[in-house]
Amino acid sequence: MPLRIRKAEVFLVKIPFWFSVEHASASRTANVTGFCILSGEDGDFGVGEFLCREYVTGETLKDCMVYCKQVGPLLTRSVIEDPLSFIQSLWQSEPTQGRVGYAAFCGMELALLDLWGKVVGKPVAEQLHPDVLCGAPQDEPVAPATPPRWDRHPAHAISSALPCRPRVITYSAVYPFASGLKRPMLHFFYQKLMRAEHIKVKGTGNIEEDLAYIAAIRKAFSYPLDIRLDLNGSLSPEHAEEYCVGLLRSANGVRWIEQPFPKDDWHTHRAFQKRFADDLVFCADESLCSMEDLQRMIHEGAFRAINIRVGKNGGLWNSLRLYEKAIANGLEVQLGCLVGESSVLAYAGLHFSAVTDRLRYHEGCFGKYLIQWDGVQPSLMFSRTGQVSFDRLPKAGLVPSFDLAGLRRRAFQTTQVA
């Protein structure tokens, strides 16, 4: 069924948080969130979301708007027969230079997939054909010159394509920098209400401070925890040996460090990942935006794991390329999220999880636990056991519903890009 897009718009909304979120690279009390709306000829619309993180992808809000204005006309001038082939053609004909364009492309891509799903009556996860990805041998190589295609097999329902998958996934808790009353509040929420078992702790790069923070968290919980560290590039090369040795000598049990050094410091990542190859897992986050980044880390052995964030890595199509390439080369993969995502990006992560079967950790679905407004109602949030069921996936499109009227009221800037 050919799809024609009548109009492409971008709405910018400031969404405040209920509390501040701080880590080594940033401190936030709100997001400026971009929502891409693609309107079809029959009155349906699709929604996508983007968040700019200049210290990660290099994109400013201005960059994102410029890129949306470039992609918008390509969408409205085209008759789209197959959204995945169209998305692939955009990546090939309009490649993002450096790291600019990933967030904005994600917003436009998600809106297209949402609209297409509503038109054909299929959820996005089913459009991605999970049977192509799930169950593939881990040592099967993926040819770099031929990006994987998820439209080469007939669609299958999620339930039949993934017969051995659990119907729920468990999300990780995240501890930002916290002191005073904020810390016991987090303890209460994550232990008593969520009963979290997997916890990411934002570290400072100072071994004494980070070990003390981890010890305090373990002491507050009455059961064992799987704790990993996220340093957001705060570890300096001159203190790296002391930090890694101190971590291994302690009894805290942490062996997974996300983004220990600054994102462009490939030399130090490579040297210390090889130095502690048998003991520590370095997980790339800010260092992983493009396929070129992934190919470099595989070639140099700079990391043993990657953090894929749909909003950071250019949407679902490119995130799935990165996932398949990483798994084929023996890397571990976790699904991450951007702080303050609305349920639009959270649903994108849930669709991603539905078509992948080797994710080490899941992050996201904080919804209105953190943000004060969400265009999707009810907000997609993990339960009191930290779980989200695949039954929450919509019957068609990316999200089950979206408050477009509320978005129009809240937006401080509305731009028709095509």
Q: Are 389 and 412 in contact (CB under 8 A)?
A: no
pLDDT of the residue at 385: 85
Q: How far apart are CA 321 and CA 170, in angstroms?
A: 23
Do 112 and 174 lie in a common domain? Answer: no
Within a domain: 338? yes
Domain count, the chain: 2
Q: How far apart are CA 17 and CA 388, in angstroms?
A: 22
- Residue holding tokens 């953190």? 370
Q: In the numeric block, which tokens belong to residue 120?
A: 């054909």
Do 130 and 106 lie in a common domain? Answer: no
The crossing angle, in degrees rounded to 10, of helices 316-328 and 102-120 is: 110
Which helix (H) or strand (E) segment holds residue 102: the answer is helix 102-120
Q: Is the pLDDT of residue 147 over 90?
A: no
Within a domain: 93? yes
Within a domain: 11? yes
pLDDT band at 140 (very low <50, low <70, confident <90, very high): very low
Do 215 and 87 lie in a common domain? Answer: no
pLDDT band at 352 (very low <50, low <70, confident <90, very high): very high
Q: In the numeric block, which tokens belong to residue 83?
A: 């959204």
pLDDT of the residue at 138: 35
Q: Is the pLDDT of residue 8 over 70?
A: yes
Within a domain: 269? yes
Sign of CA dihedral 120, 125, 126, 128: positive
Mean pLDDT of 240-255: 94
Do 151 and 69 lie in a common domain? Answer: no
**DSSP calls for 281-300:** EEEESTT-SSHHHHHHHHHH
Within a domain: 399? no
Mean pLDDT of 249-277: 96
Do 64 and 192 lie in a common domain? Answer: no
pLDDT of the residue at 166: 65
Q: How far apart are CA 398 and CA 350, in angstroms?
A: 10
Q: How far apart are CA 229 and CA 46, in angstroms?
A: 36
Within a domain: 397? no
Q: Is the pLDDT of residue 53 over 50?
A: yes
pLDDT of the residue at 137: 34
Q: Which residue has the higher pLDDT, 245 or 153?
A: 245
Q: Is the pLDDT of residue 159 over 80?
A: no
C-alpha distance from residue 136 to each of 132, 141, 326, 356, 383 (Å): 8, 10, 13, 10, 31
Q: Is the pLDDT of residue 156 over 50?
A: no
Within a domain: 410? yes
Percent of the chain with pLDDT over 70: 89
pLDDT of the residue at 97: 47
Other residues' Cβ atoms within 10 Å of the Cβ of residue 69 = 16
pLDDT band at 304 (very low <50, low <70, confident <90, very high): very high
Do 77 and 187 lie in a common domain? Answer: no
DSSP 171: P
CATH code, 115: 3.30.390.10
Q: Is the pLDDT of residue 163 over 60?
A: no
pLDDT band at 100 (very low <50, low <70, confident <90, very high): low
Within a domain: 33? yes
3-state secondary structure of 338: coil
Q: Which residues span the domain enclosing 236?
A: 126-392
Q: Is the pLDDT of residue 153 over 80?
A: no
pLDDT of the residue at 357: 87
pLDDT band at 73 (very low <50, low <70, confident <90, very high): very high
Q: Is the pLDDT of residue 154 over 50?
A: no
Give the pLDDT confidence of 320-337 residue by residue, as tens digits: 999 999 999 999 999 999
Q: How far apart are CA 401 and CA 46, in angstroms?
A: 10
Do 275 and 157 lie in a common domain? Answer: yes
Mean pLDDT of 88-104: 72
Compute the mean pLDDT over every residue in the chain, rounded to the nearest whole number. 89
Do 198 and 226 lie in a common domain? Answer: yes
Q: Is the pLDDT of residue 240 over 50?
A: yes
Do 135 and 208 lie in a common domain? Answer: yes
* Closest listed residue to residue 285, CA positions, set 277, 295, 293: 293
Do 242 and 364 lie in a common domain? Answer: yes
pLDDT band at 145 (very low <50, low <70, confident <90, very high): very low
3-state secondary structure of 256: strand
* Closest listed residue to residue 87, CA positions, set 145, 157, 6, 151: 151
CATH code, 253: 3.20.20.120
Do 343 and 379 lie in a common domain? Answer: yes
C-alpha distance from residue 110 to each of 2, 18, 74, 83 (Å): 18, 26, 15, 10
Do 156 and 95 lie in a common domain? Answer: no
The crossing angle, in degrees rounded to 10, of helices 316-328 and 291-300 is: 10
Those residues with Cβ within 8 angstroms of residue 308's Cβ, 6 or more apart along the chain or in another chain? 288, 319, 322, 323, 333, 334, 335, 336, 352
Lowest mean pLDDT segment, chosen from 145-154, 211-220, 231-240, 252-261: 145-154
